[in-house]
Amino acid sequence: MRNKQGIGASIVVFFLLFLSLHLSGKEAETTRIDWTRYHNYSETTSILKDLSEQYKNLCQLYSIGKSFQGKEIWCMEITDYSTGLPNTKPGMYIDGNTHAGEVSGAEVCLYDIDYLLKNFGKDPLVTKLLKERVFYILPKINPDGSDSYLRKPEDPIDPNLKKIDDDEDGLLDEDGPDDLNRDGIISIMRVRDEDGSLKTSSKDPRLMVPREIDEKGEWRIIGPEGLDNDEDGRINEDPPGRERTVSNRNYPAYWAPSWIQSSAGPYPLSEPEAKAQIDFILAHPNIAGIQAHHTHSGVILRPYCNLGDEHIPAGDMRNFLAIGAIGTKITGYPVLSVYNDFTSDKSNPRHGVFVDWAYDHFGTLAYTTEIWKAPGETGRSVFQGTDENVAMEWNDKELEGKGFVNWTKYDHPQFGKVEIGGWNRNYFSQNPPARFMEKEWKINCLFELKHAEMLPFLKIEKIETESLGENLFRLTVVVVNEGYLPTNVTQKAIDNQMAKPVLASLKLEGAELLIGKQEVELGHIQGNAPISSSRFSFSRNDAPQNKKTVQWLVRGKKKNPAVEIIFESQKAGTTKKKISLR
């Protein structure tokens, strides 16, 4: 029979257990993310801080720098810290929201972070990746532009925003958008005009099509919904906070000035966000894979942006296509060369693009995923053709017509009788509508996990200690690269003298080295890629090419001598093991 003291202790234990469960439930609730909406900078920051507090053993949140408007550019570093320091593991870099309006990229990054943290110990692949690799995930490269894009017309303007003279008229932030019809959407304005270039579509009266050269016009587009506040003939050209884009033309690789490449900036990395991004990557040479997120077209883009495929070494091309094929299998997005497949006008290619820098100047495979192919896009990119009738049919069926703002008449104080309406492009073509969001986030997340799995990874496979008598020992050590990619990751890294060789070293305790160097450069180690061979001829030796062997001759000088064997690779991580010599 229990005494009163024992019963009291049990009650206390029960209460503490109940309180713990209750509090943990509340903590979990703070990190529940609504995947049917887009999150602004403040909301994203709150989510990241909540997750970093809840999963301290798996992640650290820190800023890599500040945006133009002074917002922190957050990086969530994720790894199992119990298995080694982050810089001793292969790194996977993922970012999003470089362009202001491409907010889907930020949500995929948030999804990645949430998925990795919540599935560690549950999902075998996630668990393996966090034990062996490190993820650096930056959801919003451009928090300023993202906030401007996500700001609703009725939201108050942050008084701390830097004011900018976007239209160079001597006034600051004087001409922003106006929600004239108060529907929460900034759409477009049109007026009837016989000289206009558009007419009503015969297939759907909501749509407009170009008139024939022998026809009179019916409609002319004035511009985005709003007032010409400064009466300069332009509308919404100087908005508060400026929907600023961190240009994906401001990077050092193949940079060109603005008279050749628009939005290039005055010089490479002139934009603080781009410079912070590149400084961060250069400070983490263990990064072995790079994935950037942009939006619309539903494609996986690879380098080059202004050069043909003949400039890519054969081995790199094989690996670009092989990893990209995994992405296609998961996402359904095709893998395209930006220059060969995505650029219509080859005389006007893109310059100064991030993925070209990552490949040429940093030596990694780098992809840009263009999230979400909207219904009606008929070409390889949104710029290569759309069928608005298909889009409208899908809009009516899947969105109950909410992807299109029906035209309504409005008495404009400056332009007279106008009509306001058109596509809600922000969340129809540029970014997916609410109920299609999570599917896009998940398929892109799963591709990134597989990309990370392909990174090189060193492991000591075998250590043989042969006693030769008189305290002499011959050590034979085999190291293996378990990843698909070689330890140099790309041939371009070797060609451009960026790839450091694998280094084997020996630390001695109570022993001396007789034969062999204490530090040995092993060169580069191939990955575990299958050997290509004809289906009708398997005569080639398909022995693994992903292993190297090192030997040392050691003499024990004291009682219980020991050695520590270390293999270090900049991109494939560090592996080591300590053994006693007996």
Better pLDDT: 86 or 27: 86
Q: What is the pLDDT of residue 28?
A: 44
Does the structure show a pLDDT above 80 at 29? no
Q: Report, as an integer, the average pLDDT of 571-581.
A: 96
Of the given ranges (290-294, 508-512, 578-582), which has the lowest mean pLDDT?
A: 578-582
> Residues 127, 257: one domain?
yes
In this structure, are 101 and 111 located in the same domain? Answer: yes
Range in 145-154, 239-248, 305-314, 473-482 the model is least confident about: 239-248
> Does one domain contain both 265 and 135?
yes
Question: What mean pLDDT do residues 192-208 have?
Answer: 97
Residues 364 and 220 in one domain: no
| Statement to judge: residues 168 and 287 lie in one domain | no
**Of 495, 4, 405, which Cα lies nearest the Cα of 188?**
405
Look at residue 6 and tell me whether its pLDDT is greater than 70: no
Q: Is residue 28 part of a domain?
A: no
Residue 532 has pLDDT above 70, yes or no: no
User: Would residue 158 count as lying in a domain?
Assistant: yes
Range of the domain at 347: 60-162+243-386+429-454
User: What would the mean pLDDT of 383-393 be, rounded to a whole number?
Assistant: 89
Is the same domain home to 82 and 158?
Answer: yes
- Chain-wide mean pLDDT for the chain? 91
Instruction: Examine residue 173 and state whether it is found in any structural domain, yes or no.
Output: yes
| Shared domain check, 334 and 234 | no
pLDDT for residue 336 is more than 50? yes
Q: What percent of the chain has pLDDT over 90?
A: 80
Distance CA 440, CA 456 (A): 27
pLDDT of 143 reads 94
CA distances to 4, 97, 168, 265 from 261, rounded to whole Å, are 82, 21, 21, 9
- The pLDDT of 538-555, averaged and rounded, is 82
Within a domain: 1: no
**So what's the pLDDT on residue 534?**
52
Quick one: average pLDDT of 321-326? 98
Query: How high is the pLDDT of residue 31?
Result: 77
Give the residue from 137, 132, 138, 136 showing the smallest Cα distance to 453. Answer: 132
pLDDT of residue 543: 66
Tell me if 104 is assigned to some domain. yes
Confidence of residue 259 (pLDDT cuts 50, 70, 90): very high
Q: Biggest alpha carbon distance in the chain?
A: 104
282 and 368 co-located in one domain? yes
Cβ-count burial of 127 within 10 angstroms (0-12 exposed, 13-18 middle, 19+ buried)?
A: middle
Beta-strand ranges (E) seen in 121-230 are 134-138, 188-192, 198-200, 208-210, 219-224
Whether residue 190 is found in the same domain as residue 225: yes
- Whether residue 14 lies inside any domain: the answer is no
Q: Which residue has the higher pLDDT, 86 or 247?
A: 86
With respect to residue 282, please indicate whether it lies within any of the assigned structural domains.
Answer: yes
- Compute the average pLDDT of residues 488-497: 97
Q: Would you place residue 4 in the very low, low, confident or very high pLDDT band (cuts 50, 70, 90)?
A: very low
Structural domain count, the chain: 3
Residue 282: its H or E element: helix 272-282
What pLDDT score does 245 carry? 62
Judgement on whether residues 168 and 137 belong to the same structural domain of the protein: no
**Has residue 8 been placed in a domain?**
no
CATH number at residue 102: 3.40.630.10
Residue 21 has pLDDT above 60, yes or no: no
| b/e per residue 223-242 (b: at least 16 CB within 10 A) | eebbbbbbeeeebbbbbbbb
Please tell me whether residues 111 and 167 are part of one structural domain. no
Reported as a pLDDT band with limits 50, 70 and 90, residue 16 is very low
Are residues 344 and 294 part of one domain? yes
Query: Which CATH number fits the domain that encloses residue 463?
Result: 2.60.40.10
Over residues 242-260, mean pLDDT: 86
